[in-house]
């Protein structure tokens, strides 16, 4: 039996016109979405200074735990389910409104817990206004359904909404933030893009939200939580070597060290963002193909890797060479200590891109979510064990070393897991007849 023509046309990401167009649009929009925050950071680190900017970065690292909880793996599980059921209006409405209700419930739980921690810890209580301002991002994370837009392959629309929101708030930063006394306003403007994007999405209605309404039941919400459990545990584990590094750094050293680490990490993430549009664009397509024709999904995955990974490897090498001029240009001479941070983490753009292909695109879609969870747990534990010793001896550089180790071990372990299960995965692919185009 031959696969449908539609499936055959979806085989290669760079020959299918709709996917290529979406990827190109997304690269332009996401490029601006990465550039604008860099401009904001370059301005704020100079205006606020290392101490004040470090306080905001520390608060963001703390609030990021709430982001992990409210996300709960939905960018993968819900986006996958939306992609597979996009032709079924009833199923689409059920998935969307159940996910939104679950995220709202998780948001309430997060606000209660985070509020209690800030109230009970004296060092946090002193900066409670900054923590409250940074928590705006949690509301935006719930309000803006980027996972839904990804599932129906409307990411350029999501990126455009985010771009408009970021531009508006960035103008506010340049106009109204003038000194360290404006730190509260700066924290609000930095944290509000997703919330503004969510409010803007309401005006567009479709396809930002399905037109059909569905009232979730308790069983729907319970099943939603159960479906995303392994991904959620994995997300919590990745937090042990992402936001936790800046958080522990602030607890064991000072806010200036957090500022140096955050500036370096921001540059690394900006470079890593080169691969984000491609992986985000193909993820729903790969999810659909794995449910219909696994062999074609493997072809698509290999094509993505061949096109993305050499570019990211080159980007990592260039970061080592040009780390100093990058820091001096974006942050200024007072952040020269961040040069070593960038060089230590220079391999991250390549390693994270490998992990983005092996983890979400492959392991989540071929039934290896449990193995992925244990990989994240293991490398998260390694990071937490190494972090106090490295931070006490090397401060911000120690946090960067711990992160570099974790992000290197992760994709190696993912490749090992896929390779160990290659026989079962090959048998699954061959069970669905296909032909090459």
Nearest CA to 75 out of 160, 149, 21 is that of: 149
Pick from 249, 186, 244: which is nearest to 56 by CA? 186
> For residue 10, what pLDDT is reported?
44
Q: Is residue 353 part of a domain?
A: yes
Tokens of 327: 């820091």
435 belongs to a structural domain? no
In a domain, 257, yes or no: yes
How many CB atoms are located within 10 Å of the residue 89 CB?
Answer: 12
Q: Dihedral angle at the C-alpha atoms of 327, 189, 252, 265, nearest 10 degrees?
A: -30
C-alpha closest to that of 154 among 69, 221, 234, 92: 92
What is the per-residue pLDDT for 181?
92
Contact call for residues 383 and 405 (beta carbons, < 8 A): yes
In this structure, is residue 63 part of a structural domain? yes
Q: Which of 342, 330, 256, 338 is nearest to 42 (CA)?
A: 330
Tell me, yes or no, whether 187 lies in a domain: yes
pLDDT of residue 7: 45
What pLDDT score was predicted for residue 81?
86
Q: What is the pLDDT of residue 28?
A: 65
pTM attached to this predicted model: 0.70
Compute CA 297 distance to the chain's CA centroid, rounded to the nearest angstrom: 23
The answer to whether residue 141 sits within a structural domain is yes
Tell me whether residue 436 is in a domain: no
Q: Give the domain extent around 22.
A: 5-430
Instruction: Answer whether residue 437 is part of any domain.
Output: no
Domain count, the chain: 1
- The pLDDT profile of the chain, 437 residues, written as one tens digit per residue, is 344 444 444 444 444 445 555 556 566 666 666 678 778 888 998 899 888 999 998 999 889 888 888 988 787 788 888 888 877 888 889 999 999 999 999 999 999 999 999 999 888 899 999 999 999 999 998 988 888 887 787 777 777 888 888 889 999 999 999 999 999 999 999 999 889 988 887 776 555 678 788 899 999 899 888 877 777 776 666 665 667 888 888 889 888 898 899 899 988 988 887 787 777 778 778 888 887 888 888 888 999 899 899 999 999 999 999 999 999 988 888 889 999 999 999 999 999 999 989 988 899 888 888 888 888 888 888 888 898 999 999 999 999 999 999 889 999 999 999 999 887 777 665 554 433 33
How far apart (Å, rounded) are the C-alpha atoms in residues 421 and 408?
Answer: 21
């Amino acid at each position: 039996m031959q696969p449908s023509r539609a499936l055959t046309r979806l085989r290669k990401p760079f020959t299918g016109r709709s996917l290529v167009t979406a990827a190109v649009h997304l690269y332009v929009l996401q490029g601006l979405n990465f550039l604008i925050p860099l401009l904001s950071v370059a301005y704020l680190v100079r205006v606020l200074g290392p101490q004040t900017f470090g306080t905001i970065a520390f608060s963001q690292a703390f609030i990021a735990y709430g982001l992990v909880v409210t996300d709960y793996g939905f960018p993968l599980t819900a986006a996958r389910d939306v992609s597979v059921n996009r032709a079924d209006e009833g199923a689409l409405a059920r998935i969307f409104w159940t996910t939104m209700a679950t995220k709202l419930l998780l948001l309430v739980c997060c606000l209660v817990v985070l509020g209690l921690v800030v109230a009970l810890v004296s060092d946090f209580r002193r900066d409670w206004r900054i923590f409250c301002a940074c928590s705006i991002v949690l509301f935006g994370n719930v309000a803006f359904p980027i996972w839904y837009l990804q599932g129906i392959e409307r990411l350029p629309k999501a990126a455009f909404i985010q771009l408009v929101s970021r531009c508006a708030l960035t103008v506010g930063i340049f106009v109204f933030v003038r000194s360290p006394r404006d730190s509260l306003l700066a924290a609000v403007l930095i944290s509000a893009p997703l919330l503004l994007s969510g409010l803007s999405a309401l005006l567009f209605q479709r396809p930002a939200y399905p037109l059909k309404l569905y009232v979730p039941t308790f069983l729907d919400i319970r099943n939603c939580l159960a479906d995303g459990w392994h991904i959620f545990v994995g997300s919590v584990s990745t937090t042990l070597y992402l936001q936790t590094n800046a958080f522990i750094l602030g607890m064991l050293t000072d806010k200036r060290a957090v500022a140096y680490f955050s500036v370096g990490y921001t540059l690394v993430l900006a470079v890593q963002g080169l691969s984000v549009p491609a992986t985000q664009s193909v993820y729903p397509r790969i999810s659909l193909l794995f449910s219909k024709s696994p062999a074609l999904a493997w072809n698509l995955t290999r094509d993505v890797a061949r096109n993305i990974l050499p570019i990211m490897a080159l980007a990592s090498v260039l970061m080592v060479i040009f780390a100093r001029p990058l820091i001096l240009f974006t942050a200024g001479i007072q952040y020269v200590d961040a040069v070593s941070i960038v060089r230590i983490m220079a391999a991250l753009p390549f390693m994270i891109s490998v992990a983005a292909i092996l983890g979400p695109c492959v392991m989540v879609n071929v039934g290896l979510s449990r193995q992925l969870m244990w990989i994240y747990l293991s490398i998260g534990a390694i990071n937490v064990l190494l972090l106090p010793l490295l931070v006490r001896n090397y401060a911000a550089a120690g946090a960067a070393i711990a992160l570099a180790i974790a992000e290197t071990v992760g994709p190696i372990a993912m490749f090992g897991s896929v390779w160990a299960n290659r026989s079962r995965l090959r048998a699954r692919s061959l069970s669905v007849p296909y032909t090459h185009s």
